[in-house]
Structures are given as C-alpha cells and as structure tokens.
Amino acid sequence: MKQYPYIIVGGGMTADAAVNGIRRRDRDGEILIISDEPFPPYQRPPLSKKLWLGMRMEETWLPGWQRQRGVTLLLGSAVAAIDAEARTVVLWTGAAYEYGQLLLATGGRPRTLDSGGSRVFYPGNMVEHIRLFQTLQEPTEVLVVGGGFIGSEMTAVLSSAGHSVTWLMAEREPFIDFLPDTLRSRVLQEYHAHGVALHGGQQVTGFETADSEVVAVTESGQRFQGSVAVAGLGFIPNDELARPLGLTAEKGGVKVDALLRTAQDGIWAAGDVSVLGAEGALMMHEDHAVTQGRRAGENMAGAAKPYDHLPFYYSDIYDFGYEAIGECRLTLDVVEDWVVPGEEGVVYYLMDGQVRGVLNWNVWDGVPKARDLIQSGQRWSKGELIGQIRN
Ligand SMILES: Cc1cc2nc3c(=O)[nH]c(=O)nc-3n(C[C@H](O)[C@H](O)[C@H](O)COP(=O)(O)OP(=O)(O)OC[C@H]3O[C@@H](n4cnc5c(N)ncnc54)[C@H](O)[C@@H]3O)c2cc1C
C-alpha cells in the first residue's frame, strides 16, 4: 500500500490552501489530494457571479497545488472510509492509502428538497453550474428559491443575463435581518429594475416537473411556474467520514480544537466542514476556507499555531459588492456611515457601544480596520465611528 506523509480528502479551496500551508514548512513531503469532483481545485464564488457575465471557466482554476512539487491529485475518486487505527483511507473502488497526517477538507453540499427532477438545480459545485449554464442558453423563465446569499446572487446574475426571474423565499423580504432600511430598499429597487418578481413569505415545500416546466409548490398551497428552478436552500457539511469515528459536532460538521486537530491522532479538519471549539458554528465562506486550510497545512507539518482568525465574507449583487465581518444582524444597534446613501458606505452593528459586526458596502480594503474595531472591544459613540473606515 502506498504511504503518503500527507493526505487531503476533498479538492476544494481549503485543500488548495492546505497544500500551500504544508509547503511553508515541508518542501518535499509527498501530498495526495483525493477529490470526488472531475476538476482540479477551483474557486467556487465566481460560479454564482462572474461566470454568468462572461468569465471563462478556466479562470476559476486554483493553480496553487500545481506549482508545488510532490503533489498527486486523484480526481473522480471518493473516499468511502477512514481506518484510524491503521491510518488508512479507503476509496469506494477499494484502493487504500496510508497517511501520516490526514486533512478532512470535504466541504459542504447544497440542501435539497426530495422532489424535483432534472429541471431543478442546486448551485453548489462546478458540474451543477455547467449543467445550469448549458440549460440556460436562451432567455428562460427561472424560479429562484431561497432568500440567502446564493438565492440573492443567482437572482441578480440570471436577471442581468436576460432571464425572467421569479424569486421565492420564506422570509418577507430578502436581507430582512441584515441590511438596514436605506440599503435594503435600494437593493430591492435594483432587483425590480431588472424585472425580478419577488414573492416573500413563500415557503417552498417541493417541486413538480412535467415536460418543459417546473412548478414550485408552497406550504400555503400556492404554485409558481417556470422552465427551470434554481434552489439555494443552504449547505450541509460533508461530515460522513468523521461520524463513525465520533468526530462530529451535534449540529453537524467535524469538531476541531484551536490547532485544527480532531480528537483522533493524525486527523485534522478545515474549511466548510469544520467546527471550531465547543461553542463553534459552521463557517462556510472563502476567507475562512483559505486561512483555515493554510493554517491546517502548516500545523500538519508541525507548526502548532492556533487558528484565531476572524474571517469575513463577501458577495456581489448587480453593481454592488459587499464585505461583512462579525455579527451583522439588525437585532444589534446600527450606525450607518454613508458616502452616498445606499450606494457606498459602512454599516456598524453594535452591542453596548462595542462593535460586533461591520458591513462595507462598495467600500474596499476596509476589512483589516473593521477587524481591529471588533477585536479592540472598545466602546464607541456614533460620532466617533463616522469616517473610521470609509474615506
Ligand atoms: C456557488 C457558490 C458561491 C459562493 N460565493 C461565496 C462568496 O461570494 N463569498 C464567500 O465568502 N464564500 C462564497 N462561497 C463559499 C466558499 O466558496 C466556500 O466556503 C469554500 O469554497 C469552501 O471550500 P472547501 O474546500 O472547504 O469546501 P468545498 O468547496 O465544498 O470542497 C470540498 C470538496 O471535497 C469533495 N468531497 C467531499 N466528500 C468527499 C469524499 N468522501 N471523497 C473525496 N472528495 C470529497 C467535494 O466534492 C468538494 O470537491 C460560495 C460557495 C458556492 C458554492
């Protein structure tokens, strides 16, 4: 049986970053990446953004692992089980490999509804996006289901690309707990300007498909018809390999300590699948995947550095782009600092005068400063916050 000092299960952004992390400390140790996808590591965020607006598929590839010596990539190969005693991973094909250190970078997959055939799309990985891309070659009536970040981005890009979009969500309006009124109404105006028919308060429970149409059926019995449906219903962690080893958190995900170790010697986890600490939650964002993946790689190669990064996430909607860090929810006190209301500015979310979250709206390079404000624990008056981040 072939032995590798490092095996990474999953070939996403976390895996790519982990290779870079390992190579910071170990220039030669052989690395095996095992991925069940047919593609080398690629960036996922452009799939729901620039890919629809002219970006070429190959621009999403992450070249990091290719530049490193001693990295073998096994594509289209799913790991079926881990034998922690024997320190081996076993593929569904029966092939087995022995590891020195093993990283679980298996990410997450879209939550799905039981019903619905090939006209229902769950935009997660590249294969599903290509399938959707091939289907939407002509202007099409699309149902987008879900008011979260995938739903909001897919509605924006598909309506920009000339499709007629009906957007259904359980919430009364999108961003209802997140964006203050000034901003939310500006964003909704943009969706309306692109012809989006928005229906809030519609909990979709299933799909019916027939010939060339799909119908989304809601809890209240309403029916919405389109040619295809695109559902963004959240993601669930791919933690199945860790379950038999007792390494999963109650709400799902693989539990890790500050060094990103699981409770099993030689097994680490990072990225969308990991849950940090006893009170931790899943963090399914690029900055988290990249920084945690890199740190896991360094630690697998002996660094013993804690992961204490406060990650941000970002999104694009039409010509708006935002970066959010910390707790950005309207149950906190809100201070708005606009250059142009609804177009460019910063929203602070505070508790007892302390900054808990920051939203930079069409304001760039403000994440480090926002992180400092949150981590300082200092109390701020509204006047003191104005101009802290924006120019
Ligand atoms: C469409 C889309 C848009 C996004 N946009 C943004 C954004 O704008 N901003 C942002 O901050 N974040 C965004 N994200 C989130 C970000 O892309 C993820 O947080 C990041 O890609 C997670 O990387 P990962 O490597 O941990 O997991 P994944 O990317 O899920 O990769 C895990 C890989 O492991 C494979 N795998 C799973 N189980 C096995 C197994 N048993 N054997 C072999 N392989 C296995 C999976 O197939 C997958 O290839 C977006 C995500 C998606 C899907």
Q: List the domain boundaries for the chain.
A: 3-109+235-300, 112-231, 319-385
Range list of β-strands (E), 223-364: 223-226, 228-231, 235-237, 254-256, 267-269, 274-276, 312-317, 320-326, 333-340, 344-351, 354-361
Asked if pLDDT for residue 86 goes beyond 80, the answer is yes
Give φ, ψ of 17 to 5 degrees: -70, -35
Q: How confident is the model at residue 50 (pLDDT cuts 50, 70, 90)?
A: confident
Ligand 1: atom nearest CA of 283 is: 19
**Rounded to an integer, what distance in angstroms lies between the CA atom of residue 10 and that of residue 311?**
21
Q: How confident is the model at residue 65 (pLDDT cuts 50, 70, 90)?
A: low
Q: Do domains 3-109+235-300 and 319-385 have the same CATH topology?
A: no
Q: What is the pLDDT of residue 59?
A: 85
Mutate to test the pocket of ligand 1, among 132, 230, 286 (most ligand atoms within 8 A of CB): 286
Cβ–Cβ < 8 Å for 149, 286 = no
Least confident of 12-21, 33-42, 47-56, 194-203: 47-56
Mutate to test the pocket of ligand 1, among 8, 42, 73, 238 (most ligand atoms within 8 A of CB): 238
Give φ, ψ of 256 to 5 degrees: -135, 155
Half-sphere exposure of 300 (CA within 13 A, CB side): 36
Q: Which of 107, 169, 134 is nearest to 51 (CA)?
A: 134
**Rounded to an integer, what distance in angstroms lies between the CA atom of residue 49 and that of residue 158?**
9
Ligand 1: atom nearest CA of 48 is: 1
Q: What is the pLDDT of residue 54?
A: 86
The separation between the first and the last C-alpha atoms of the chain, rounded to the nearest angstrom, is 59
Q: What is the mean pLDDT of residues 233-251?
A: 97
Report residue 161 as tokens: 């690309």
Q: Which of 76, 39, 82 is nearest to 61 (CA)?
A: 39
CB distance 124 to ligand 1 below 6 Å: yes
Q: What is the pLDDT of residue 51?
A: 86
Report residue 31 as tokens: 């690395």
CB distance 237 to ligand 1 below 6 Å: no
CB distance 298 to ligand 1 below 6 Å: no
Question: What integer best gives the mean pLDDT of the chain?
Answer: 95
Domain 3-109+235-300 in this protein, CATH class: alpha beta
Asked if pLDDT for residue 267 goes beyond 70, the answer is yes
pLDDT digits (tens, 9 = 90+) for 351-374: 999 999 999 999 999 999 999 999
CB distance 238 to ligand 1 below 6 Å: yes
- d(CA 107, ligand 1 centre) in Å: 5
Cβ–Cβ < 8 Å for 326, 354 = no
CB distance 380 to ligand 1 below 6 Å: no
**Rounded to an integer, what distance in angstroms lies between the CA atom of residue 341 and that of residue 54?**
30
Ligand 1: atom nearest CA of 240 is: 41
Report, at the CATH architecture level, how domain 319-385 is classified.
2-Layer Sandwich (3.30)
Cβ–Cβ < 8 Å for 22, 29 = yes
Q: What is the pLDDT of residue 133?
A: 93
ipTM of the complex as predicted: 0.99
- d(CA 332, ligand 1 centre) in Å: 30
Q: How confident is the model at residue 211 (pLDDT cuts 50, 70, 90)?
A: confident
What CATH number does domain 112-231 carry, 3.40.33.10, 3.20.20.140, 3.50.50.60, 3.40.1410.10? 3.50.50.60
pLDDT digits (tens, 9 = 90+) for 276-331: 987 789 999 999 999 999 999 999 999 999 999 999 999 999 999 999 999 999 99
